[in-house]
C-alpha cells in the first residue's frame, strides 16, 4: 500500500494506492473518523461501474456500519451538468443526508467533479471521498479539490474548491477502462514527467509500451500512479487556488484546448494535450529554453503511448486560433505558455507572441 499525504492549512488527507483496496474502504473511513456522527453515505457512479464494482464498495461500507444509498448517472462529459447535480441533490434530500453525512464518487473525472461540487454545496458543504476509476482521475482529477460542472457555453465554468477527505485508488479497476481513455490519460502522465519528475520520465522511457495497460507491469503501474499523485499533491500544496505554480499543470493545454475545441471534441482531451505538449516543446526549443534531444525524448514517449504528435488536417488552423483567442490563458493579447526547460522542470511564460504561435501551428500539421 502506498499512501501519499496531502496537507493544506485546513485539510489533511491521504491518497491511498493499493491493488484490490475497494473492499477495505469502509474500514478506512472508520479509521479516519469519517461518518462518526452520521452513518449515511450517498454513492454516486455510472451504471457500468456500479455493476462491476458497486457491490464490493457497498458491502465494505455496510460491513463498517454505514447506511448506503446509490445514485447512478449516465456517463459522458455531456452529462456534467447542473441537471445531473440536481439529481444528486434530489438523492441527498430523499435520503436525508445530514451535515455530517458523506458522499462518495466512484468514477472518472466527470463523476468526481460533479459529486465534489454537490458535496461542496449541499448544506453548504459536506464531506466527500474520491474513488477514481479512470487513469485520468487517478493521476489528476480526483486530487486537489477542484470540483465543478459545465455551462452550456463552456467547460467547467461553474465550480468550487472542495477538498476530498480521502482518495482511494484501486489500480485493478483500470482493467475495464477503454483503451482510448487509457492512452489519453497517458498524456497527463507524460506531462508530470516533463514538468516535475525526471525519475518518472525515465521510468516511462524504460517501459516498453505505454499504450495499453497489459504491457505495464503492476509494480511499474503502482510507481507511475504514486509519482503522479505525489506530483499533483505537491503542486496543490504549494498553490491550492492556482495563483501561481499550479499553472504548470497546464503544460500542453494552451494549444491542446484550442485543438480540442476546434475539432469539436473529436480529438479528445488527452490526444489534444499530447499534440499541445509537442508544439509547446517546439516553442521552448525555438526560444532556446530546451534542447532538441529533450524534444526527441518527449516525442518518443508520445509515440510509445500511441498518441498523436501532429494536428490532423481536418482541424482548421483558423478555428484553433479562434479557440485560443477565447481561452482563459490569454493575458493582454499575448499567450501564456508553460514551457519545459529540462526533463522534470518547466516555467510559466506570459508573453509568447501570437506570431510565433501561428508559425508553430503551421508546422504542427507536419508528421514527426
Residues annotated as part of the active site: 124, 146, 188, 232, 242, 246, 250, 253, 257, 269
Query: Which grid coordinates are listed for 102?
Result: 458523506
Q: Decide if residue 239 touches ligand NAD (CB under 6 A).
A: no
109 binds ligand NAD (CB under 6 A): yes
- Say whether residue 71 binds ligand NAD (CB under 6 A): no
Contact predicate 16/7, CB 8 Å: no
Indicate which single residue of 110, 210, 224, 294 sits in contact with ligand NAD (rule: CB under 6 A).
110
Among 35, 107, 276, 364, interactor with ligand NAD by CB under 6 A: 107
Q: Which of 120, 141, 247, 279 binds ligand NAD (CB under 6 A)?
A: 141
Nearer to ligand NAD (CB atom), residue 137 or residue 282: 137
Residue window 27-46: x/- pattern of binding to ligand NAD, with contact defined by CB under 6 A: -------------------x
Residue closest to ligand NAD when measured from CB atoms: 109
Please state at what angle helix 198-205 crosses helix 292-304, rounded to 10 degrees: 60
Instruction: Quickly list H helices, 39-152.
Output: 47-49, 55-63, 82-94, 109-121, 135-136
Q: What's the DSSP call for residue 20?
A: T
Q: How far is the CB of 293 from ligand NAD (least distance, A)?
A: 30
Considering the complex, state which of residue 253 and residue 297 has its C-beta at the smaller distance from ligand NAD. 253
Contact 64, 30 (CB under 8 A): yes
d(CA 78, CA 99): 30
CA 244-250-256 angle, to 5 degrees, is 150
Q: Which stretch binds ligand NAD (CB under 6 A): 97-105, 170-178, 321-329, 357-365?
A: 170-178
In degrees and rounded to multiples of 5, residue 164 shows phi and psi of: -70, 165
Please give the DSSP secondary-structure letter assigned to residue 366. Answer: S
CB 154 within 8 A of CB 240: no
**Closest separation in Å from C-beta 368 to ligand NAD:** 26
Helix (H, G, I), strand (E, B), or coil: what is residue 301?
helix
For 281-293, b where at least 16 C-beta lie within 10 A, e where not — what string?
bbbbbeeebbeee
The reply on whether position 173 binds ligand NAD by CB under 6 A is yes
Residue 107 CB, nearest distance to ligand NAD (Å)?
6
Give yes or no for residue 171 binding ligand NAD (CB under 6 A).
no
Supply the minimum distance, in Å, between the C-beta of residue 45 and ligand NAD.
Answer: 9
> Closer to ligand NAD at the Cβ: 43 or 360?
43
Q: CB 291 → ligand NAD: shortest distance, Å?
A: 29
In the Cβ-directed half-sphere of 145, how many Cα atoms lie within 13 Å?
Answer: 26
At 87, list the grid cell. 439529481
Q: How far is the CB of 114 from ligand NAD (least distance, A)?
A: 9
Beta partners for 105?
44, 130
Using CB under 6 A, pick the residue from 54, 108, 340, 344 that binds ligand NAD: 108
Sign of the CA dihedral 239, 181, 169, 198?
A: negative
Q: Which residues pair with 345 in a beta bridge?
A: 342
Is residue 87 involved in binding ligand NAD (CB under 6 A)?
Answer: no
Q: Is residue 228 close enough to count as binding ligand NAD by CB under 6 A?
A: no
The single residue among 100, 121, 156, 220 that binds ligand NAD, judged by CB under 6 A, is 156
Q: Does 64 bind ligand NAD (CB under 6 A)?
A: no
**Do residues 188 and 229 make contact, with C-beta atoms less than 8 angstroms apart?**
no
Among 40, 146, 227, 297, binds ligand NAD (CB under 6 A): 146
- On whether the CB atoms of residues 181 and 30 are closer than 8 A, the answer is no
> Which positions from 302 through 341 interact with ligand NAD, judged by CB under 6 A?
none
Q: Give me the residues that bind ligand NAD (CB under 6 A), please.
A: 46, 48-49, 75-77, 80, 107-111, 113, 133-134, 136-137, 140-141, 144, 146, 156, 173-174, 176-177, 181
Amino acid at each position: 500500500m502506498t499512501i501519499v499525504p496531502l496537507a493544506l492549512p485546513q485539510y489533511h488527507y491521504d491518497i491511498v494506492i493499493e491493488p484490490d483496496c475497494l473492499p477495505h474502504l469502509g474500514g478506512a473511513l472508520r479509521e479516519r473518523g469519517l461518518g462518526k456522527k452520521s452513518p449515511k453515505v450517498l454513492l454516486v457512479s455510472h451504471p457500468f461501474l456500479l455493476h462491476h464494482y458497486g457491490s464490493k464498495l457497498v458491502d465494505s461500507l455496510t460491513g463498517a456500519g454505514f447506511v448506503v444509498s446509490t445514485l447512478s448517472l449516465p456517463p459522458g462529459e455531456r452529462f456534467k451538468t447542473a441537471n445531473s447535480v440536481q439529481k444528486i441533490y434530489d438523492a441527498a434530500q430523499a435520503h436525508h443526508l445530514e451535515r455530517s453525512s458523506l458522499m462518495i464518487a466512484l468514477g472518472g473525472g466527470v463523476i468526481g467533479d460533479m459529486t465534489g461540487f454537490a458535496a461542496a454545496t449541499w448544506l453548504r458543504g459536506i464531506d466527500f471521498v474520491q474513488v477514481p476509476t479512470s487513469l485520468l482521475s487517478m493521476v489528476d482529477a480526483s486530487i486537489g479539490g477542484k470540483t465543478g460542472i459545465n455551462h452550456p457555453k463552456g467547460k467547467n465554468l461553474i465550480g468550487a474548491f472542495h477538498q476530498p477527505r480521502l482518495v482511494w485508488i484501486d489500480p485493478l479497476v483500470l482493467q475495464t477502462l477503454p483503451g482510448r481513455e487509457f492512452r489519453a490519460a497517458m498524456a497527463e502522465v507524460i506531462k508530470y514527467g516533463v514538468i516535475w519528475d525526471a525519475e518518472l520520465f525515465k521510468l516511462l522511457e524504460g517501459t516498453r509500451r505505454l499504450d495499453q495497460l497489459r504491457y505495464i507491469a503492476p509494480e511499474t503501474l503502482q510507481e507511475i500512479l504514486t509519482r503522479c499523485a505525489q506530483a499533483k499533491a505537491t503542486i496543490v500544496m504549494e498553490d491550492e487556488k492556482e495563483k501561481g505554480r499550479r499553472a504548470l499543470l497546464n503544460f500542453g493545454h494552451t494549444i491542446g484546448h484550442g485543438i480540442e475545441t476546434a475539432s469539436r471534441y473529436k480529438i479528445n482531451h488527452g490526444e489534444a494535450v499530447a499534440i499541445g505538449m509537442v508544439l509547446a516543446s517546439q516553442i521552448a526549443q525555438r526560444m532556446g529554453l530546451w534542447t532538441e534531444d529533450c524534444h526527441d525524448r518527449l516525442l518518443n514517449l508520445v509515440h510509445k503511448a500511441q498518441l498523436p504528435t501532429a494536428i490532423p488536417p481536418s482541424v482548421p488552423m483558423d478555428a484553433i486560433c479562434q479557440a485560443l483567442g477565447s481561452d482563459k490563458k490569454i493575458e493582454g493579447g499575448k499567450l501564456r505558455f508553460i514551457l519545459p526547460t529540462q526533463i522534470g522542470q518547466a516555467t510559466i511564460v506570459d508573453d509568447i507572441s501570437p506570431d510565433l504561435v501561428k508559425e508553430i501551428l503551421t508546422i504542427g500539421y507536419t508528421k514527426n
